[in-house]
Chains A and B, each alone.
Chain A
Amino acid sequence: MTLTLAFRNLFHDRVRLAVTLIGILFSIVLVAVQLGLYLGARGMIISMIDRADGDLWIMAYGTKNFEEAQPIRARERYVALATPDVVSAVPLVTAFTDWRKPTGGSTLVVVIGADAEDGGLAPWNVVAGDVTGLGARDAVMVDKTYLAELGIAGVGDTAQVGASRVRVVGLTEGIRSFTVTPFIFTTLNRARQLIDMPADNITYVLAKVRPGADIEKVRDAIRAKLPDSEVLTRAEFRERSLNHWLFATGAGVALLGGAALGLIVGTVIVAQTLYSSTKDHLAEFATLRALGSSSGYINKVILMQAGLSALIGYALGMSIALTIVYLSEHTALPIVMSPGLAALLLALTVVMCAVSALSAIGKVMRIDPAMVFNR
């Protein structure tokens, strides 16, 4: 009966129900978009680090993230290789540079240089062309998302990077940058050439550790040999990049703050409508109390009203949020909806509605059952 009563109370006043649902829906969509953007940003920040085939990253001291790294000497690679339990050490070059569009104008890009045969960091999700095509003269690969930004239409188009001409030999899909700066994949030497880096310089060394070896011990051993460089495990580098982009720049805080704001606004709207609904049904709750119902029974009715609102609002809010996620899929700023985030949103919605019910429960707790005689 509690569920029946909660359901009927809820649907008795359709206008109030609509206001409640709009409040929940608004809150869910806002939180979903903010957290989805956060997840999307997180994915973009760590995608290169996760994709690269290395247990340890050797880099210039003070490097804050993947894109913004100073050069180191190429000999660091051999120092790493000479360390016990290191099975491979692959050089990698990254740097910001200018891409001159064939249509005129220029845009900033991040050149990533690695040799495919080293297995360090090769383009993935290739939708046109082939990674082996990077062996050709002037060859680069770019992501489909940035074609317009780069002023090109697809494979075969050419542009100028630094003093060199480049030709697009392949396209990837979904390799996006948090800084909205397109990634340009090419070989190690061509990357050096494009960014005008001396031949004995590189940006990173990706060291692979023998399976079963203690990665942290190997890291410490390399650190001891390279006091001027930093050696980080994959997890440490991820953490550092995330901290820099999401928290040091304030971008992540803004996204999480937006999500928190959505929750607060949703809670206030639901609390207000639930409170006024309870107030309207106060005489009925007083009758229930006079009939001998426990306060737990009445609280259950109110919480069920809140729970039903949460479920209906969640279903509506998620359908809108999923539409937005779908529409953002091919943009430079994708919103990610994972099963974990969907579950978290459901939990947040239920908690938000339960918290909203507290004011209504407080009102009912102060009810005077004697009012049943004054109706």
Chain B
Amino acid sequence: MTAAVTASEDTVPATAGNGVLDARDIVKDLGHGAGRVRALKGVSLSLNPGELTLLMGPSGSGKTTLLSILGCILTPTAGTLTVAGRPTGGLAPEALAELRRSHVGFIFQSYNLFPTLTAEENVRLALDVRGSRGSDAVVAAQRALQKVGLRHKLKSYPANLSGGEQQRVAVARSLVGAPSVILADEPTAALDSENGLAVMALLSQIAKDRSRAVLAVTHDPRTVPYADRILRIEDGLIVGEERRAEGVETVHELARTRKRKANA
């Protein structure tokens, strides 16, 4: 496989500003009293539109905690977070929920689909919580499923879908509300190699949309070739950033180039 991402000269926390999501000096303490642990020790990063960023690091390095804060699910102990230009400091839980439904899409390791709803209903649910209902919502949900190649599985329940298909439904659900940021937590961890790569290809394609940024937390090395940028986190700190060099194609782009050449 072609190495799609090259290491940049940048090493320790070198993150640009003015992204669709900007985090500055994020600190997060977890637990109470003697059990209190500093999970994040001053993380700064920006997510830029049109980029698939991977957040990689060992277990316990603070990946999921950081993802929860970036997704406005947890609030930081210190530091600032701006999502789609809106500072989140001091916002009440309901206001944070409003920010999530307007600007953030989530993809979970275990898909988190509703077992009692069909694929189409699962996707439509993300619109329903935004107040978007009726035939427009149905059409939008069907389009989102078409985008992930599941037009033929609209009425299937999660139990009747493979892991890869379930994750694609979850991708469609994260996409359907046209969020500014999509945050994925170990999106390939529960999938076999083929399905894992298919999901990464999909995320890479989604990230091409200049209106949104995609961040995936992973420690699956197979995902590296799909990234535009890789952030490495260790012990609650960003310890490195690698960026795909200009002109280097991602696996996805390589595949398309090969296909074009073959057709020619």
Instruction: Report whether A373 and B109 are in contact in the complex, using a CB–CB cutoff of 8 Å.
Output: yes
**Max chain A Cβ within 10 angstroms of own Cβ: one of B71, B98, B104:** B71
Instruction: Report whether B106 and A372 are in contact in the complex, using a CB–CB cutoff of 8 Å.
Output: yes
Q: Which of A246-254, A265-273, A280-288 lies at the interface?
A: A280-288
Check: B22 CB closer than 8 A to any chain A CB.
Answer: no
Residue-by-residue, is B166-188 near A (CB-CB < 8 Å gives 1, otherwise 0)? 00000001000000000001000
Instruction: Report whether A375 and B102 are in contact in the complex, using a CB–CB cutoff of 8 Å.
Output: no
Q: Which of B3-11, B125-133, B256-264 lies at the interface?
A: B125-133
Chain B, range 196-211, C-beta contacts under 8 Å to A: none
Instruction: Report whether A290 and B117 are in contact in the complex, using a CB–CB cutoff of 8 Å.
Output: no
Instruction: Report whether A373 and B114 are in contact in the complex, using a CB–CB cutoff of 8 Å.
Output: no
Check: B101 CB closer than 8 A to any chain A CB.
Answer: yes
Given the complex, which residues of B lie within 8 Å of A291, measured CB to CB? 100-101, 106, 125-126, 129, 173
Measured CA separation A25–B174 after assembly (Å): 42
Check: B136 CB closer than 8 A to any chain A CB.
Answer: no
Instruction: Report whether A1 and B110 are in contact in the complex, using a CB–CB cutoff of 8 Å.
Output: no
Q: Which of A1, A8, A370, A375 contacts B112 (CB 8 A)?
A: A375
* Interface residue SS majority, chain A: helix
Q: Which of B68, B97, B130 contacts A373 (CB 8 A)?
A: B68
Instruction: Report whether A292 and B100 are in contact in the complex, using a CB–CB cutoff of 8 Å.
Output: yes
Given the complex, which residues of A lie within 8 Å of B64, measured CB to CB? 373
User: Contacts A1-B121, A295-B94, A373-B64 known; A290 to B114 CB distance under 8 Å?
Assistant: no
Give the shortest distance, in Å, between A13 (CB) and chain B (any CB). 10
Measured CA separation A8–B173 after assembly (Å): 19
Given the complex, which residues of B lie within 8 Å of A290, measured CB to CB? 71, 73, 100, 106, 112
Closest-by-CB residue of A relative to B170 is: A287
Check: A51 CB closer than 8 A to any chain B CB.
Answer: no
Give the shortest distance, in Å, between B19 (CB) and chain A (any CB). 20
Check: B226 CB closer than 8 A to any chain A CB.
Answer: no
Instruction: Report whether B97 and A293 are in contact in the complex, using a CB–CB cutoff of 8 Å.
Output: yes
Check: B124 CB closer than 8 A to any chain A CB.
Answer: yes
Closest-by-CB residue of A relative to B113 is: A287
Given the complex, which residues of B lie within 8 Å of A373, measured CB to CB? 64, 67-68, 108-109, 185
User: Contacts A294-B97, A373-B67 known; A287 to B114 CB distance under 8 Å?
Assistant: yes
Residue-by-residue, is A273-309 near B (CB-CB < 8 Å gives 1, otherwise 0)? 0000000000110011111111101000000000000
Measured CA separation A288–B68 after assembly (Å): 15
Q: Which of B98, B108, B133 contacts A372 (CB 8 A)?
A: B108
Give the shortest distance, in Å, between A297 (CB) and chain B (any CB). 6
Given the complex, which residues of B lie within 8 Å of A369, measured CB to CB? 73
Given the complex, which residues of B lie within 8 Å of A8, measured CB to CB? 114, 116-117
Given the complex, which residues of A lie within 8 Å of B248, measured CB to CB? none
Check: A97 CB closer than 8 A to any chain B CB.
Answer: no
Q: Which of A292, A370, A375 contacts B110 (CB 8 A)?
A: A375
Closest-by-CB residue of B relative to A2 is: B128
Check: A347 CB closer than 8 A to any chain B CB.
Answer: no
Check: B255 CB closer than 8 A to any chain A CB.
Answer: no
Check: B74 CB closer than 8 A to any chain A CB.
Answer: yes
Check: A5 CB closer than 8 A to any chain B CB.
Answer: yes
Chain B, range 8-65, C-beta contacts under 8 Å to A: 64
Check: A328 CB closer than 8 A to any chain B CB.
Answer: no
Given the complex, which residues of B lie within 8 Å of A287, measured CB to CB? 108, 112, 114
Measured CA separation A4–B125 after assembly (Å): 10
Check: A229 CB closer than 8 A to any chain B CB.
Answer: no
Instruction: Report whether B116 and A5 are in contact in the complex, using a CB–CB cutoff of 8 Å.
Output: yes
Check: A12 CB closer than 8 A to any chain B CB.
Answer: yes
Closest-by-CB residue of A relative to B71 is: A290
Measured CA separation A214–B245 after assembly (Å): 102
User: Contacts A1-B128, A8-B116 known; A370 to B100 CB distance under 8 Å?
Assistant: no
Check: A9 CB closer than 8 A to any chain B CB.
Answer: yes
**Max chain B Cβ within 10 angstroms of own Cβ: one of A283, A293, A295:** A293
Measured CA separation A373–B106 after assembly (Å): 10
Give the shortest distance, in Å, between B111 (CB) and chain A (any CB). 9
Measured CA separation A278–B109 after assembly (Å): 23
Give the shortest distance, in Å, between A74 (CB) and chain B (any CB). 78
Measured CA separation A283–B114 after assembly (Å): 9
Give the shortest distance, in Å, between B127 (CB) and chain A (any CB). 9
Given the complex, which residues of B lie within 8 Å of A370, measured CB to CB? 68, 73-74
Closest-by-CB residue of A relative to B93 is: A295
Given the complex, which residues of A lie within 8 Å of B133, measured CB to CB? 1
Q: Which of B94, B98, B112 contacts A283 (CB 8 A)?
A: B112
Instruction: Report whether B114 and A284 are in contact in the complex, using a CB–CB cutoff of 8 Å.
Output: yes
Given the complex, which residues of A lie within 8 Å of B173, measured CB to CB? 291
Instruction: Report whether B94 and A294 are in contact in the complex, using a CB–CB cutoff of 8 Å.
Output: yes
Q: Which of A12, A283, A292, A375 contacts B129 (CB 8 A)?
A: A292
**Max chain B Cβ within 10 angstroms of own Cβ: one of A2, A297, A370:** A370
User: Contacts A290-B100, A292-B104, A373-B68 known; A4 to B121 CB distance under 8 Å?
Assistant: yes
**Max chain B Cβ within 10 angstroms of own Cβ: one of A4, A5, A288, A373:** A373
Measured CA separation A289–B93 after assembly (Å): 10
Q: Which 6 A-B pairs have the closest CB atoms?
A: A292-B101, A8-B116, A292-B100, A293-B129, A1-B128, A287-B112
**A290-B73, A292-B104, A293-B101 given. 11 additional CB < 8 A pairs?**
A284-B112, A287-B108, A287-B114, A290-B106, A292-B97, A292-B101, A292-B130, A294-B94, A295-B93, A372-B73, A373-B109
Residue ranges of A at the interface with B (Cβ–Cβ < 8 Å)? 1-2, 4-5, 8-9, 12, 283-284, 287-295, 297, 369-370, 372-373, 375
- Pairs across A and B, CB under 8 Å, 11 listed: A1-B128, A12-B116, A287-B108, A291-B173, A292-B99, A294-B97, A294-B98, A295-B94, A369-B73, A372-B73, A373-B185
